[in-house]
Chain A
Amino acid sequence: AQKITQTQPGMFVQEKEAVTLDCTYDTSDPSYGLFWYKQPSSGEMIFLIYQGSYDQQNATEGRYSLNFQKARKSANLVISASQLGDSAMYFCAMRSLKAAGNKLTFGGGTRVLVKP
């Protein structure tokens, strides 16, 4: 069975500073993908970044980067130069190749509040 764990229920970060959101996962499938989504107060889930288990380099998308440590089964999200608009819930998710129908398994989420 797949499992995603986000150990930080909430955190504060100062505007313009970097923040790291933790995510660990568990799967027996050697082929899988890891996703991060952002959910602002409006409720819609916004895709941020993707990392494949066989990707050689860590994924980056603008101010978002994924610190992928395969041996540790961790996929931490790093947000650089935080902005007030980064205040939101952040979810880590995983899909294994064996998962039917492209379904994602999600972690419990981390709430980030950016302080001016």
Chain B
Amino acid sequence: DVKVTQSSRYLVKRTGEKVFLECVQDMDHENMFWYRQDPGLGLRLIYFSYDVKMKEKGDIPEGYSVSREKKERFSLILESASTNQTSMYLCASSLNRGNPKSTNEKLFFGSGTQLSVL
């Protein structure tokens, strides 16, 4: 069965700490994504990566960075955590079939990390 694994289900950090959220997928997917989920706002894209060592900013990249050194692992980094980064963070992955006419490639999600910054 396909699997996207996020290292922590719940995380509590203090303001100013450097925070690492880890995500691993076992499906050999090219694309990986980090979203944050907030009530009423749905999921908003922070960063994504379509290949090893490649990264692209999403809609809300400020205050975050990412790392993709290996195909299966995509890390989200909060350089200096702030209270407004308290949120649910969801990692996802998808195949990149290389078909420029394709829009049906679905995302596979992890179970999420609920981060609280105090």
Contact = CB atoms under 8 A, between A and B. Distances in A.
Contacts of B42: 4, 6, 91, 106-109
Place the interface of chain A in its size category: 20 to 34
Interface stretch (B18-26, B64-72, B78-86, B104-112): B104-112
A102 B31 contact: yes
Nearest to A29: B103
Q: Taking chain A's interface residues, is the majority helix, strand, or loop, or is none over half, making it mixed?
A: mixed
Interface stretch (A11-19, A65-73, A74-82, A93-101): A93-101
A101 B31 contact: yes
Contact of B106 (A47, A91, A105): A47
B92 A45 contact: yes
Interface of B: 9, 31, 33, 35, 40-45, 48-50, 56, 58, 88, 90, 92, 94, 96, 100-101, 103-112, 114
A95 B100 CA distance: 13
B103 A103 contact: no
A6 B50 CA distance: 29
Given A106-B43, A108-B40, A43 B112 contact: yes
B109 A45 contact: yes
Interface string A7-47: 00100000000000000000000011101010000111101
Given A42-B111, A45-B92, A103-B48, 17 more contacts: A32-B103, A44-B112, A45-B109, A47-B107, A50-B104, A52-B104, A97-B100, A97-B101, A100-B56, A101-B56, A101-B96, A102-B31, A102-B50, A102-B94, A103-B58, A105-B45, A108-B41
